[in-house]
Structure 1
Amino acid sequence: MVHCSCVWFRKYGNFIDNLRLFTRGGSGGMGYPRLGGEGGKGGDVWVVAHNKMTLKQLKDKYPQKRFVAGEGANSRVSALKGSKGKDCEIPVPVGISVTDENGKIIGELNKEKDRILVAEGGLGGKLLTNFLPLKGQKRIIHLDLKLIADIGLVGFPNAGKSSLLSQVSHAKPAIADYAFTTLKPQLGKIMYNDFRQISVADLPGLIEGAHMNKGMGHKFLKHVERTRQLLFVVDISGFQLSSQTQYRTAFETVILLTKELELYKEELQTKPALLAVNKMDLPGAQDKFQELMHQLQNPKDFLHLFEKNMIPERTMEFQHIIPISAITGEGIDELKNYIKTSLDEHANQDDDTYHKKQLLNLQISNTIPYSEPPPKNSVTSPIDVI
């Protein structure tokens, strides 16, 4: 994991999205057998979220990547109960997932000052331990950055995602005409007249086989998990990564993007999604757009054109399909309005689901005798939003 992190850092400049750290809680203090004194507990190691922190800053400040808490004080005549060792806090950015060496999730930090205990200090010496202190917990942890944004842009390289982000927001991403333009995630905010702000993440371009970690593979896909909705961006003229790879039409691009999301994590397909069909300023774009709409409305009629392993289990159902040109600005205002509407609609659905669940809980508590706890599975699960 350290190797991967370093390669990512060298190859893609200043952006680091994962780190491997050594942590150890402090040892407890010695007990005092003659007087029954108890040693202080060792300090704990915490991971704490800070808005203005980055993983690169953490790596630069602590190049050894070792975090050890203080030892508990020994028991003595003047203080029979030793004081607790000093806690150690690891400052990390918001949006961090913390896992152990086996990949098990310890917890997530989603807002400022969120904190997770990662290594506990040892107990001080006391009667139960024959007055001998215990060592602190030793743990290797992995910090994994997952962006949090309202909208995540999904598309193959050259679809025009960077150009679109600069059109809809105040972000100024680097834009160039070659594959893998975006080498690190770019965040922008759409500002509305009513002072509403919606965050948009332009993520490194996918390629076919991303679910197998080809290209930037999982580095892209893991960020998609933490966006509320997806905005597919496809080039109306289709896509070809290089002269050695196959040309894909706009419809094939949508199918392949859907398949990549499905193969990485099926739940991604349940996120609400919009489709922006870009580069509508090109010659013949209108005819191609009509053809694409026909294909998207009747996807099963065209899936026989694909190899079986390229066909997703379920096709994406887009809330809205908007023709745009990130170069001329055509359709950009409509897209911004659809984004806002879609987020509001699903926020209302989430609220309705929550209130229905609360009402059902209330009905259950009124119909079941007080002495009898309600059955574990009596509440319906939230409605899936497609």
Structure 2
Amino acid sequence: MVQLFKFLLKSTKSPTRAHFRPSFLDTLRLAVRGGHGGNGLPKYGGVGGQGGCVYFVAKEGLTLRKLAQGLKERRVAATSGEDSSKVSIFGKRGVDTRIEVPVGVQVYDEQQKLLADLNENDATCIVAGGGIGGCTGNNFLGRPGENRIVNLDLKLIADVGLVGFPNAGKSTLLKAVSNAKPKIAAYPFTTIRPQIGTIEYGDLRSISLADLPGLIEGAHANFGMGHKFLKHIERTRLLLFMVDIFGFQLSPRHPHRDCLANIYSLNKELELYDPSLLEKPCVLLLNKMDKEGAHEILTKVRPVIDDLSSGLADCPEEVRPKRVLKFESIVPISAINSTRVTQVKSQLRRTLVRLAEKQFVTDGEQIKEQLQQRVGLVGPKIT
């Protein structure tokens, strides 16, 4: 009797507790199939209806988690075209299947070929076309629709991406400046999935800030959070680096690196993953300035931070980048000091406004050149 009771206890599966369930999903695999084409009618030369197609439409406010919950079987199919008949010589077309996906999704096939990049609201792509209907060209036999596996890869779209090593204070800053409520604790890797907050200003202007899981050395090769982190900074307008002024040590097995070495290490990880990321404008935050000895360290390292190329000779070879970052501004802060946090909010806004002005001037120059080229074909050059 005791053995039977133990067996029944083992066979009972308890539901996963809510805080263990992943709430953020940035990849999703779906099987999609277009509708089969309807058969034609040889006796009357009738043409079968074309099968419906499966297409994605990008919509703001959606998440891959909601999409996955609505498609539990991970299979999507359109309906088949109608067969031709003596009552209806031309069969009706199958009904298309519309699937709404989050803005920022990239669609890949099984060979990792990019099919579509849905980075704007209402952007649309067909992922599985319907088969053609039966006609004289195919012996009046309808053809099957496309049948494939697609991978949806979500890359967050935010104004600012917060970059740094674990336990640098990124989540504390995000909570202080925005409406987000990330988990905060005094140990590394508290953040295990991206968090997005909105910084709101008195004139109703808002800026979106993404706090991303902490980097470790080797992230470019997919160590740690790896590519799950790095891919999310590709679409941010501004990179916000956050570094502990006292340095960082991942574990007792790893060497302790000072703040300069950490800056170079972050620089190198971005360079190895995608060199084009170094072209993004960036701001550096030196955190934990409220602690004793922080200002002495800042006085020592500030000249090198202002010109990172000047310190490459003394940088450890394993973290030495080939090309160094150029920071738009360097802000010493304490993430728990409200005055310093307000300074960060103001600095981010000024930087984004300045970048927008530069982009406006650049776009204006390009439009002027295009007009000059067109007008030059038929009249005098615009000056």
Q: 2:359 aligns with which of 315, 332, 350?
A: 350
C-alpha displacement of 1:238 = 0.7
C-alpha displacement of 1:328 = 2.0
Match of 2:373 in 1: 364
Match of 1:134 in 2: 143
Unaligned residue ranges in structure 2 (runs of 5+):
1-17
Match of 2:264 in 1: 255
Q: 5 Å matches for 1:257-276?
A: 257-276=266-285
Q: 5 Å matches for 1:1-386?
A: 13-368=22-377
C-alpha displacement of 1:50 = 3.0
> Which piece of structure 1 moves more, 48-57 or 206-215?
48-57
Counterpart of 2:177, as a letter, is V
Counterpart of 1:65, as a letter, is R
Q: Does the 8 A contact of 1:95 with 1:146 survive in 2?
A: yes
Between the aligned residues of both structures, percent identity stands at 46
Counterpart of 1:343, as a letter, is L
Counterpart of 2:167, as a letter, is N
Relative distance call for 1:10 and 1:119 in structure 2 (3 A) is farther
How many matched pairs? 362
C-alpha displacement of 1:123 = 0.6
SS in 1 for 2:43: helix
Using the size of structure 1 for normalisation, the TM-score is 0.90
Deviations 1:247-288 (A, max 9, x none): 111111111001111111111111110011111101011111
Question: Which protein has the larger Cα radius of gyration, Structure 1 or Structure 2?
Answer: 2
C-alpha displacement of 1:53 = 2.7
C-alpha displacement of 1:330 = 4.1
C-alpha displacement of 1:369 = 6.4
Residues of 2 paired with 1:90 and 1:354: CA distance?
35
Using the size of structure 2 for normalisation, the TM-score is 0.90
Match of 2:15 in 1: none
Unaligned residue ranges in structure 1 (runs of 5+):
1-8, 371-386
Counterpart of 1:232, as a letter, is F
Residues of 1 paired with 2:233 and 2:167: CA distance?
18
Relative distance call for 1:12 and 1:211 in structure 2 (3 A) is farther
Q: Does the 8 A contact of 1:12 with 1:184 survive in 2?
A: no
Residues of 2 paired with 1:330 and 1:255: CA distance?
28
Counterpart of 1:13, as a letter, is P
